[in-house]
Amino acid sequence: MEELLKFRKELDELDRKLIDTLAQRFAVCRQVAEYKAEHQIPMMQPGRVLEVKTRAAKQAVPAGLTERFALELYDLIIWEACRMEDEIIESAAVTAQG
C-alpha cells in the first residue's frame, strides 16, 4: 500500500504540473486574442488548428499515447482557446464601439 501511495503522490504532482502548463498555454492564448482584436484578425485560423493537431498526433505515438487520444485532447484544448479568444475579441469590439 505504501508503494501505491507513492504512485498517487507522483500522479498528483504531475496533475498539478499539467494544470499549470495548461494555464500557461491559455495565458498565451489570451495574448493572441488581444493581438487579433487589436489587428482585426479573425479568431478562427483553420490552418493553424490543423497544424497544432497534426503535430500533437505525431508526437503522441512515440510518447506512448494514441493518436486518437492526442486529437481528442487537442479538440478540447482548442475549443477552450477559441471560446476564450471569442470572448476577448468580442469584448474588445464592444469597447471599441462604445
CA distances in angstroms from 31 to 11, 21, 35, 38, 53, listed in the order given: 30, 16, 6, 11, 20
| Domain layout of the chain by residue ranges | 2-97
**Amino acid at position 21, single letter:** T
Domain spanning 2-97: CATH 1.20.59.10: yes
Greatest CA separation found in the chain?
A: 62
pTM here is 0.87
pLDDT tens track of the chain, all 98 residues? 999 999 999 999 999 999 999 999 999 999 999 999 999 999 889 999 999 999 999 999 999 999 999 999 999 999 999 999 999 999 988 888 86
Burial of residue 95 (number of CB atoms within 10 Å: 0-12, 13-18, 19+): exposed
Residue 16: CA count within 13 A, CB half-sphere: 6
